[in-house]
Amino acid sequence: MIISASRRTDIPNYYAEWFLNRIKEGYLYVRNPMNPRQVSRISLSPEVVDCIVFWTKNPEPMLAGLEELEAYSYYFQFTLTGYGGDIERNVPHKKRRMIPVFQELSRRIGKERVIWRYDPILFTDTYTPAYHLKAFAQIAEALQGCTSKCVVSFVDSYVRNRQNMKALRAFSLPEKELFVFAKEIAHIAGAHHMTVVSCAETMDLSACGIGHSCCIDKDLIEQIIGCKIRAGKDRNQRKECGCIESVEIGAYDTCRNGCLYCYANSSPERVLKTSRLYDANAPLLCGQITEEDIVTERKMKSLKCGDEI
């Protein structure tokens, strides 16, 4: 199985100690967000975990514990954008902190296992296309040799971020201007020996030099683990998403990055309330099992086919 850690929250940034404790214990609990009384017990045995995909804006708290992941295959989706604290409120300074962390992570685990995400891209009076191109070029130059792939996407409107998008006066570019922008992004990346791919985009940007890709990437996972896997599309994601099936272990309303475009948090007040329940030694992230909960063992198995690449 593939572990997603996590689309719902930034585990490496805020819950690294919890995750590493769960690795030691060999299991964790996940509450079903659609049916909160349902809780799944997830085995973390290396025999069934084929790969772990980390999503983060700051993996620095996890760097000291990477040795504890030696029994596992994994890679990081590292989001690094040009936004300031007005958009990504609690993310450390990019040039002083995050670029050096990206470089260090790449040095330790290899550039193929650190994917740079410059997403989501949103346009405002401040964050204009010209601003993004300048920021993208500066980051790409700093990350040259530290990654070979950059993932981009354009901001989507969700119920949870719609009010913030309206307050920012975010706007979309006409298709012709968007294609010019995308082509320039691909050109900049290419100049720094990176390919650019899109994530869950309905538009075809291949003419701009940007192909479709996915976050939980079958080809990349097979490359990392050294053998073929048998895995289908994740049916829990929207149709534009090309990710393969995975087990999500995060929890909504627990990410403290404070990004205004976020779809995983309902409100800052809710995040504060939920994150106060955090216990690094508990099997459940930001919560406790109650008498009303129904805990079931999720059936896990390796997706490996046995055929070496």
**Higher pLDDT, residue 2 or 171:** 2
**Collapsing DSSP states into helix, strand and coil, what is residue 94?**
helix
Q: Judge whether residue 9 has pLDDT over 60.
A: yes
**Averaged pLDDT for residues 298-306:** 89
**Higher pLDDT, residue 166 or 108:** 108
Asked whether 135 and 89 are in contact (CB, 8 A), the reply is no
- Strands 114-121 and 149-154, by their bridges, are parallel
Summary mean pLDDT of the chain: 92
The Cα 135–Cα 142 span in angstroms is: 11
- Note the pLDDT of residue 200: 67
Q: Judge whether residue 156 has pLDDT over 80.
A: no
**Higher pLDDT, residue 264 or 296:** 296
Q: What percent of the chain has pLDDT over 70?
A: 95
- Note the pLDDT of residue 159: 56
Asked whether 195 and 189 are in contact (CB, 8 A), the reply is yes
**Averaged pLDDT for residues 251-262:** 94
- DSSP 8-state symbol, 172: P
- Note the pLDDT of residue 309: 65
**Higher pLDDT, residue 183 or 305:** 183
**Collapsing DSSP states into helix, strand and coil, what is residue 292?**
coil
pLDDT digits (tens, 9 = 90+) for 56-95: 999 999 999 999 999 999 999 999 999 999 999 999 999 9
